[in-house]
Amino acid sequence: MIQTSLFDLTGKVALLTGASKGMGKAMATALAEHGAQVVISSRKLDACQAVADTINAACGATRVHAFACNAGYKEQLQALVDATRTRLGPIDILVGNAGVNPYYGKQLDISDEAYDKTMATNVKSNLWLVKMVAPDMVAKGSGSIMITSSVGAHGPSLTLGTYNISKVAVIALVRNLAAELGPSGVRVNAICPGLIRTDFAEALWNNPEAEKRAREQIPLRRLGEADDLKGLSVFLASGASSYITGQALTICGGTHMRA
């Protein structure tokens, strides 16, 4: 009999940051649809709860649970991890999707405060989170960690320089963690989205020029949508990607096929 459970996440516990909308919401939806018990988090509990209610109604079961957490604060991340373990048990899947970009402009003009916030939230907080969650995975001898980077990691920008630096650092972080955790059976990968039609990136896509560039320059001739992340998240969380670790998987419609 042919087995069709390659993408089955039944019995798995997943924790996501930055999951009340956009790509995080899409990935949480996909993981729940494939059987995982999921904890979603963002700064606003009401937004997370609304998402959880919607997904649970669609699944016909309570698979998604909401928790308020500002990923920039270590104590809030620890509370999130502790609450997940108390409610659902050890964590099998981690998606570090929370990120910030408080500054848009020349890197030479960025303030120390904006630089520090960008690097701390996008890089250091993900290291904190992995350090908190990895013991569960090491104890089981398996687990999957995904951290959101960006195609911005692959080149310079006149307006998003520090953000891009933080995303390069995410890829380096992923590679080091993959090397350290690999012997314990834990996989760590980076997701590098291109231009995705989300609120976070609205300034980059919500104008006629961006739409024109998308139609002319993106090989698939369209902007990305949050739902384009669903399949990749399930793939990386499941046994289908059991021999993939330390990679930066680019989902961009073909714009960075040589990265």
**Residues belonging to the active site:** 163
Give the separation between CA 126 and CA 223, rounded to whole angstroms. 27
- Ordered strands of the 37-42 beta sheet: 64-68, 37-42, 13-17, 93-96, 143-148, 186-193, 248-251
CA-nearest of 125, 27, 137 to 93 is 137
CA-nearest of 197, 191, 159, 187 to 244 is 187
- The one-letter code for the residue type at 125 is S
